[in-house]
Amino acid sequence: MKPVFTITLVIGAIFSLVGALMAYVIAYEEYSHHYADKKKPFHHAMQTAIFTFCVFLVLSIIVGFSLNRLFKS
């Protein structure tokens, strides 16, 4: 792996994790107002967090490949 791609992947993974945690907190807070049972808000918030993590990680991989190609030439 190239250094630019590795750095981008590490930074992307860190920010993806932070984004997923924030998405979980926000989604859980919002969903908890609509359900009496605490199991459903947890499930919906976890789905939101996993989706957010995956989207940010894929975007950071795309940026890493783009920067790798840019600095290659």
Ranges of each domain in the chain: 3-72
Q: What is the pLDDT of residues 1-42, one digit of tens each?
A: 688 889 999 999 999 999 999 999 999 999 999 888 889 999
Q: What is the pLDDT of residue 37?
A: 87
Q: What is the pLDDT of residue 71?
A: 84
59 Cβ partners below 8 Å, 6+ apart? 12
CA of 22: how far to CAs of 1, 40, 43, in Å?
30, 18, 15
| pLDDT at residue 73 greater than cutoff 70 | no
pTM for this prediction: 0.87
